[in-house]
Amino acid sequence: MQLPGGVWELAAIPAEGWEQEPGNTSSLRITILVAAAVVIIPIFLTGGLVSERQRNRAKIRARESELLTVSHRLNLALESSKIGIWEIDLETQGRTWDERMYHLHGMPAETVEPTYEAWRRTVHVDDIKAASLSLFRTLDEGLEYRSQYRVILPDSSVRHIRNVGSTHEGPDGKAKITGISWDVTDDVLMTEQLRAAKAMADLKNEELAQAKDRIEHNALHDPLTGLGNRRMLDKELQMLSGRNGLVDVAILHIDLDRFKQINDTLGHAAGDAMLVHASEILRSNIRKNDIVARIGGDEFVIVVSDPPSDIYLSQLCERIISQMRQPVDYNGFPCRFGVSIGIAVARETAVDERKLLVNADIALYRAKENGRNRHEFFTEVLQAEIITTKRIADEILEGIERNEFVAWYQPQLEASSLKLAGVEALIRWNHPREGLLTPDKFLKIAEEMNAMATLDRIVLDRALIDGMRWAAEGIDVPKISVNVSAKRLRDETLVNSLKGLSLRPGQISFELVESIFLDESDDVVLANIEGIKKLGIDIEIDDFGTGHTSIVSLLKIKPKRLKIDRQLVAPILRERSEQALIRSIIEIGRSLGIETVAEGVETMEHAEMLGLLGCDLLQGYAFAKPLSADDFSRFARNQLLQLAS
């Protein structure tokens, strides 16, 4: 732009493609005053007109002084901004540089002709082409010249130079390019630093994003198996329940059977390997949109979205069960475990994820109860049973507090004399609404809720009190047998809890079901049995003949009596083989010094046969059903009368 008075303003206005250079942000705006005014002094020598000459001289001096001022200002501006000025004569290609141009290019001032070749030698080889091209284009097309290149200075350092120029006609009428060059090294370096800093920041951001992903992944996944964890499951289920509209979904609650034994016997590394193996089976059996999560030690959940049918779910479970049952080798040990699966399905309903999980859990519980390695669907019937069980469980606790549990007694008689030899105390529940309940109505639930130890103790205490009452009435009951649940026998505090009782040896007998002795390695059980015996309490093995007691464990436990199970007693009148079996049991007992009691003796014929076979004691409906304490004392008094008559 030409300013009034012949002064040029050349501003380093960013051209296209330059804007990316942050160096430009400094938006160097340098106003350069180019003195374009060339003063042509017309000297009119008008002979004899001195006053005219003097006027003209004065004018010239004024112009010269004006010019000096402008050029001084220009120099000052150029000096302070370190801008070099150059010129190329378009006709001759001759170049003119000012002192600063030499300095900018690291050349000794004025010693070298600023030819194209001389300039070229200073420029970084990689930049020569682009800088030359833009110069040639300006030369050819008369366009504005803009370039930036690097100069290698004598000390090998690099200087970045930016150039702007334009063609114009000089005062001598010749076409030229006049331009300016200045040092932008600081800008470029700053730009590079900014770029590096930005790249670093980008890298850090990337790392942070990755770390965030990793943390999120870890928070939602099980590190061992890589499956989702409980939180992930909750999140997914919440999403499902939050979904608008009706949803079809099934939840499979999967629990490994026998996993604890593997962990206990082969160690945690084996356990871990099995969990990984199990997780692979589960993963390989699900579809793309299904989710599998490990929600506990050996518990998993699969969320099946849009299950095609219940048959599909059954087949899926059976596939998983059969694959899980295949033995897995662990360091040469074949490991076997099974799996039980509970299924809860929601079809075309808004999903209540918590309820669905609970339902799957209920179904799983049923699958385990029904023998493991199987799957069960949650049903309304199952739910009703669960509700009943829950109600009974609550009522059992209330019943304990309100003394509703009592002992009934079934007499045991000597086979040879039919004299009263003892009683078996059997629990009964005086239920406030349903009347007298037998153990089949509540015992299982009491066992599940760990109330059996309490109930056994109630019966024992009752029996001891009733025993004292009978003695006071003159009725001699030589022994009272009470049943002891398996859990109570595994209770380490059992012996201590019995120590306060003052018992006559043999007055109390503990009936232990045969199945307790299946696990011969149970040290607590063996220690408890020893402790019980030391307190003068006899041990009887209940339901003998239905379990798998070995002679070895019989020798170890040395019970006082074997109670032959009523399933073996019932057929003795018909089957000779059954008679032989009973005789063998009795003989084995005799040889080991163990008495035998036959239970379920329903007729006198049975009683007679058992007597002949050598059985010591008899118990059964042939003599009496279980009786309340009062009824028993009446029975015992009658019996005494009968024996006396």
Nearer to ligand C2E by C-beta: 23 or 626?
Answer: 626
Q: Does 236 bind Ca ion (CB under 5 A)?
A: no
Q: Does 540 bind Ca ion (CB under 5 A)?
A: no
Read off the tokens for 522: 């149970």
Beta pairing partners, 597: 563, 617
435: region left, alpha or beta (phi > 0 left; psi from -120 to 50 alpha):
left
Q: Does 456 bind Ca ion (CB under 5 A)?
A: no
Nearer to ligand C2E by C-beta: 395 or 456?
Answer: 456
State the nearest-atom distance from the C-beta of 255 to Ca ion, in Å. 32
Nearer to Ca ion by C-beta: 466 or 511?
Answer: 511
The pairs formed by 462-469 with CB atoms below 8 angstroms and a separation of 24 or more are 462/406, 462/407, 462/425, 462/629, 463/407, 463/409, 463/423, 463/425, 463/508, 464/501, 464/508, 466/407, 466/409, 466/629, 466/632, 467/507, 469/629, 469/633
The pairs formed by 469-473 with CB atoms below 8 angstroms and a separation of 24 or more are 469/629, 469/633, 470/629, 470/632, 470/633, 470/636, 473/633, 473/637
Tell which residue, 478, 494, 488, 499, has the closest CA to residue 595: 478
Beta pairing partners, 405: 429
Nearer to ligand C2E by C-beta: 164 or 484?
Answer: 484
Taking CB within 5 to 8 Å according to partner kind, which of ligand C2E, Ca ion, none is near residue 330? Answer: none
Taking CB within 5 to 8 Å according to partner kind, which of ligand C2E, Ca ion, none is near residue 257? Answer: none
User: 414-451 burial, b if ≥16 CB within 10 A, otherwise e?
Assistant: bbeebebbbbbbbbbbebeeeeebeeeebbebbeebeb
The pairs formed by 202-209 with CB atoms below 8 angstroms and a separation of 24 or more are none
- Strands annotated E in 28-187: 34-35, 84-89, 95-97, 145-152, 158-169, 175-183
Between 466 and 505, how does the x/- string for binding to Ca ion read (CB under 5 A)? -----------------x----------------------
State the nearest-atom distance from the C-beta of 622 to ligand C2E, in Å. 7
Nearer to ligand C2E by C-beta: 229 or 481?
Answer: 481
State the nearest-atom distance from the C-beta of 395 to Ca ion, in Å. 24
Taking CB within 5 to 8 Å according to partner kind, which of Ca ion, ligand C2E, none is near residue 620? Answer: ligand C2E
State the nearest-atom distance from the C-beta of 598 to Ca ion, in Å. 10
Q: Which residues bind ligand C2E (CB under 6 A)?
A: 410, 426-427, 438-440, 443, 452, 456, 459, 483, 485, 511, 542-543, 566, 599-602, 620-621, 626
Taking CB within 5 to 8 Å according to partner kind, which of Ca ion, ligand C2E, none is near residue 456? Answer: ligand C2E
Taking CB within 5 to 8 Å according to partner kind, which of ligand C2E, Ca ion, none is near residue 602? Answer: ligand C2E
Site for Ca ion in 506-525 (CB under 5 A): 511
Nearer to ligand C2E by C-beta: 454 or 553?
Answer: 454
Taking CB within 5 to 8 Å according to partner kind, which of Ca ion, ligand C2E, none is near residue 335? Answer: none
State the nearest-atom distance from the C-beta of 564 to Ca ion, in Å. 9
Nearer to Ca ion by C-beta: 162 or 561?
Answer: 561
Alpha carbon distance 401, 388 (integer Å): 20
State the nearest-atom distance from the C-beta of 624 to ligand C2E, in Å. 9
Residue 615 burial (C-beta neighbours within 10 Å; 0-12, 13-18, 19+): buried
Alpha carbon distance 96, 430 (integer Å): 124
State the nearest-atom distance from the C-beta of 599 to ligand C2E, in Å. 6
Between 583 and 602, how does the x/- string for binding to Ca ion read (CB under 5 A)? ----------------x---
Alpha carbon distance 636, 630 (integer Å): 10
Nearer to Ca ion by C-beta: 225 or 483?
Answer: 483
Span of 77-85, 290-298, 445-453, 539-547 interacting with Ca ion by CB under 5 A: 539-547
Tell which residue, 335, 178, 192, has the closest CA to residue 270: 335
- Looking at residue 573, what DSSP letter applies? G
Nearer to ligand C2E by C-beta: 408 or 470?
Answer: 408
State the nearest-atom distance from the C-beta of 284 to ligand C2E, in Å. 45
Distances in whole angstroms, Cα of residue 446 to Cα of each of 234, 429, 517, 641: 32, 12, 22, 40
Q: Does 542 bind Ca ion (CB under 5 A)?
A: yes
Q: For binding to Ca ion (CB under 5 A), which residues are involved?
A: 483, 511, 542-543, 599
